[in-house]
Amino acid sequence: MNPLPLVAVAGSPNAGKSALFNALTGARQKVGNYPGVTVERHSGRLTLADGRPVEMVDLPGAYSLEPASPDEAVTRDVLLGKQAGERQPDALVIVIDASNLDNHLRFCLQLIELGHPTIVALNMVDLAKRDGLELSVERLSRELGVPVIETVAVRRRGIAELRTALDDMLSAPFCGVHEPVKSDLIHLQRRAREIATAAVISETPVRRWTHRLDSVLLHPVVGPIILALIMFVMFQGVFAWSETPKSWIEEGVASLSNLVSGAMPAGLLRSMIVDGAIAGVGAVITFLPQILILFFFILLLEGTGYMVRAAFLMDRLMHGVGLSGRAFIPLLSSFACAVPGIMATRTIEDPKDRLTTILVAPLMTCSARLPVYTLIIAAFIPNTRLAWGVGLQGVVMFGLYVTGICGALLAALVLRRGVLKGGGGGFMMELPKYQWPPLKDVVIGILTRAEIFLKRAGTIILGTTIILWALASIPQAGPGQKQSDVSIAGKIGRGIETVVRPIGFNHDISMALLPAMAAREVAVSAIATVYSIDSPDEKAGATTLQDKLQHRWSLATALAFLAWFVFAPQCISTIAVTRRETNGWKWPLFMVGYLFVLAYAFAGATYWTAVALGL
Amino acid sequence: MNAPFQPEATTLDLLPVGSQARVTSIGWSLLEESEACRLRHFGFDEGVTVEPMHLGPFGRDPIAIRVGRMTVAIRRRHAGAILVQPIR
């Protein structure tokens, strides 16, 4: 089979490369991974004027061919035809920011030297005009020796011209690339400045928009307040807007499981499909609305250029524990759910910073822990008022959140001094110009995330929930026996019991720990199952469950259980996403190990302190 | 260079916000390889004009610096490796 011609889109960060790629390929995109590295490969198709299809690939943004990050190494290797899993590009579209020629032309010159058939897209000409800059495309083209086309990718301007130019170029024969001359960066930079100066027709100094906005958004006092407000709106959105679609999904899952239950004879197979696959995957998919809303905000913040400003504002505080400002948004997102939080760490350039952030993200109290906290607090903490508007229950809940945050900061500090010592490019980032991202690009980004999440729900999560179901259902209980006693999970539960008895956990909790691996909130229903509350009016069971807990657990046990849930990595999805993002089992296993040790230690400390205090 | 009205040479982290300066030398040896590489990518070089634009809210770190037509954020520690001569 003759593969399609491959056109690579390359350029410096913030040149509008992805917007141009979206404009050329539309929504028909594929996102994969380059083998062996966690660098995403975005590809799409473009149809030329004569109907020939061409494959386009959006290379990671890079400042030069001397890589300072794994992303930049991929860009270099693809262009030189040395990247595993990628063929040599047949042509190159270089995207440069019209108002930042001095800098972008340096990488552009380096790329042109490689000898691919090349077109330069002089992007964001509208913003350059706004900044009072007028450029000569002819002069630029003459200096560079390749065609230059003016574009405004976010407004889809210049795209037709670019396509025509590509058409012409791909019709001509191409005879391979040169090895890059070990070009001297200083020399290239000077040449870039010369060309940039030559291409300017006129420049009127104007007060720049971005600067005016920055003097408010990066103001030492006003800036953090605005950041807090934006975060508040984001969280309101994630929790409030997701309610309705979440209930739709829950209803859909419920009616699907009713449908299957009705259509199949009772038995092990039906149980596997309904109690295993549908219930397990259904529980995870209900998080989809929250994840998509969170990504809508993240993409918007990223697209407007505000995300880098948030990192700027928070960098000093994050730096104190060995993280960079870039870790702020992923960690904050983890309060909703660690899965999108960990996915969002891709914006962190430095691999060690990124890994540390991934490893501490599960310590942020995610929304799935709320049902567990709510149940235990309601059952054991008296609803006394400490002060006007401040109740003891609320204080305990707040304390659990704070414990998680402190745990994360301490863990980061220890990790950065220990296993993840050294490295780190510190914090060096370009503050791009503010602009409004096209809605279509945001939608493409959200759809891509949805696809990744659903694919995982359909594979790893489906597999693990079926395994958990099998452990809980095999062998089948005979008459007069309890399923939770005979099953493999029950036997494992008894094994767990011997381990967790010293920290005050009883039989019920031990039985709930394994099923709660599917999702934390499952702990509630698992405990309910252990109590054999199998009356048909299970919805009313919450109060009964609360009563039963009060009779069977001591306060010390309840507090130890809460402490356990602050730290324990009770979530298959988080482990699965960590495996995917770190490309192997080493780090997810490390994460599971250290979090369980922390959970055990803190639950134990809580239990023994409580017992010693006579609670 | 020590003409009577010439302001004294200093490091970039000590340059006040809004004042321009020319980079006289960069202590590459004070920086790690990847950090030095990034600074060069941002266009830091002897002779270019720089101007601190904004300071981080906590400990006045990091610093947003205008270099050429770009604004970049770097930490105070890195700015300390860049020697500058204030203009006017």
Q: What confidence tens digit (pLDDT) does each residue in A367-417 have? A: 778 778 888 888 898 888 877 777 888 888 888 988 999 999 999 999 988
Question: What is the complex's ipTM, to 2 decimals?
Answer: 0.92
Query: Dihedrals φ, ψ of A107, to 5°?
Result: -65, -40
Q: CA A251, CA A260: separation in Å to the nearest integer?
A: 14
List pLDDT tens digits, range A592-613.
999 999 999 999 999 999 999 9
Q: Is residue B3 part of a domain?
A: no
Q: Would the pLDDT of B3 be above 60?
A: no
**Are the beta carbons of A430 and B72 separated by less than 8 Å?**
yes
Q: How many domains does chain A have?
A: 3
Residue A207 is predicted with a pLDDT of 65
Flag whether B26 is in a domain.
yes
Supply the pTM of this predicted model: 0.81
A210 contacts B68? CB cut-off 8 A: no
Cβ distance B75 to A221 less than 8 Å, yes or no, reads no
**Domain carrying residue B33:** 10-86
Distance CA A562, CA A559 (A): 5
Whether residues B78 and A63 touch (CB distance < 8 A) is answered with no
More confident residue, B51 or A275: B51
pLDDT of the residue at A570: 81
Residue A85 DSSP SS3: coil
The mean pLDDT value for A47-56 works out to: 87
Average pLDDT value for residue range A276-300: 80
**Could you tell me if residue A156 is inside a domain?**
yes
Residue B1 lies in a domain: no
Identify the band that residue A36 occupies on the pLDDT scale cut at 50, 70 and 90: low
The distance of B6 to chain A (nearest Cα, Å) reads: 27
A230 with A362, same domain?
yes
Inter-CA distances, A474 with A146, A486, A494, A511, Å? 69, 8, 16, 15
Residue A495, token pair as written in the block: 């094994």
**Inside any domain, residue B66:** yes
Q: Is A64 in the same domain as A136?
A: yes
In a domain, B5, yes or no: no
Q: In what order do the strands lie in the sheet with B21-26?
A: A429-430, B70-74, B63-67, B49-55, B21-26, B82-86, B10-11
Nearest CA-CA partner of A412 in A370, A367, A362, A368: A362
Same domain, A503 and A593: yes
B42 domain residue, yes or no: yes
Which comes out higher in pLDDT, residue B32 or A413?
A: A413
For A100-129, what is the mean pLDDT? 92
CATH number reported for the structural domain that contains residue B53 in this entry: 2.30.30.90
Residue A185 counted as domain residue: yes
In chain A, what percentage of residues exceed pLDDT 90?
32
Give CA A34 to chain center in angstroms. 17
Pair A22, A106: CB distance under 8 Å: no
AA identity, residue A381: I
The pLDDT confidence band at residue A264, using thresholds 50, 70 and 90, is confident
Burial of A319 (0-12, 13-18, 19+ CB in 10 A): buried
Are residues A466 and A443 part of one domain? Answer: no
Residue A109: its chain B contacts at CB < 8 A? none
Mean pLDDT score of chain A: 85
Q: Provide the number of structural domains found in chain B.
A: 1
Q: List CB contacts (< 8 A) between B30 and chain A.
A: none
Least confident of A517-521, A526-530, B18-22: A526-530
- Range of the structural domain that residue A583 is part of: 460-612
User: H or E segment at A202?
Assistant: strand A200-203
Average pLDDT of span A335-350: 81
When computed from its CA atoms, the radius of gyration of chain A, rounded to whole angstroms, is: 28
Residue A593, judged by CB atoms within 10 A of its CB (0-12, 13-18, 19+), counts as exposed
The DSSP string of A45-82 is EEE-TTS-EEEEEEPPP-S-SS-SSHHHHHHHHHHTT-
